[in-house]
Amino acid sequence: MRNIVLIGMPAVGKSTVGVVVAKRMGYKFVDTDLLIQEAEGRLLKEIIAEKGTEGFLEVEDRINAQVEAENTVIAPGGSVVYCENAMKHYKKIGTVVYLKISFETINKRLSNAKNRGVVLKEGQTLKALYDERVRLFEKYADITVCEDGLELEETIDSVMEALNC
C-alpha cells in the first residue's frame, strides 16, 4: 500500500488518527490544511474570508492534487471531496478511508465551524453541510470506519484492522 488518505467531516479526528496510524505503520504524515496555509501564507479562515468559498476550493483542489507522497498517511480538509482533481489524484495514489461519525457527534465537537475554517456556503447549516458531504465521502471511500461510540484508541485500532495492518 502506497498511501492512506483519511477523509471525513471536520473534527472527526483525521489528523489525530492519522499521526498515530502513520507512527504504527512507519509512514510519514501530511496534514494538507497546513500545506495550504503554508502555500498561501495565512490561516484557512483568512483564505476563505478573502477568496470566498469557491476561491478557497480552487486553492484546496490545486494543492491537494499536487501532493506527491509514498508510504504516507494524508489528512486533507473535510471539503476536499468537492475537489474533483484532488480526489482523482488521491484515488490514484492511495487507499481512501472515510472516518464516519454521526451528525450529533459532529455538532457537539464543532462549536464554532467558522473559526475552524470550515467551508460553509452562505446561509448553509452544519446539518445541511453534513448531509451534502456524507454522499461525497461515501462515493470516494475505499474503506469506511464508523467512529460512533468509539474512543480514540478504538478508532485507530479499527482503521488499522480495516487496512489489514
Residue indicated by cell numbers 484492522: 161
pTM of the shown model: 0.92
Identify whether 59 is part of a domain. Answer: yes
Identify whether 13 is part of a domain. Answer: yes
Number of domains in the chain: 1
Identify whether 164 is part of a domain. Answer: no
Identify whether 40 is part of a domain. Answer: yes
Identify whether 162 is part of a domain. Answer: no
Average pLDDT of the residues of the chain: 92
Identify whether 44 is part of a domain. Answer: yes
How many C-beta atoms lie closer than 10 Å to residue 101's C-beta? Answer: 23
Identify whether 161 is part of a domain. Answer: no
Rounded Cα–Cα distance for residues 140 and 88 (Å): 9
pLDDT, tens digit, 9 for 90 and up, residues 93-137: 999 999 999 999 988 887 666 556 677 777 888 899 999 999 999
The secondary structure of residue 113, as a DSSP letter, is T
Strand order in the sheet with 95-100: 28-31, 72-75, 3-7, 95-100, 143-146
Task: Return the CATH number at 87.
Answer: 3.40.50.300
Instruction: Tell me how far CA of residue 6 lies from CA of 1, 118, 136, 157, in angstroms.
Output: 14, 17, 13, 14
Query: What is the residue type of 35?
Result: L
Identify whether 163 is part of a domain. Answer: no
3-state secondary structure of 122: coil
Q: Is 135 exposed, middle or buried (0-12, 13-18, 19+ CB in 10 A)?
A: exposed
Each residue's pLDDT, cut to its tens digit, for the chain (165 residues) gives 589 999 999 889 999 999 999 999 999 999 999 999 999 999 988 998 899 989 999 999 999 999 999 999 999 998 999 999 999 999 999 999 999 999 999 888 876 665 566 777 778 888 999 999 999 999 999 999 999 999 999 999 999 999 987
Rounded Cα–Cα distance for residues 154 and 141 (Å): 20
The boundaries of the domain holding residue 25 are 3-156
Q: Which three cell numbers stand for residue 35?
A: 500545506
Rounded Cα–Cα distance for residues 17 and 53 (Å): 27
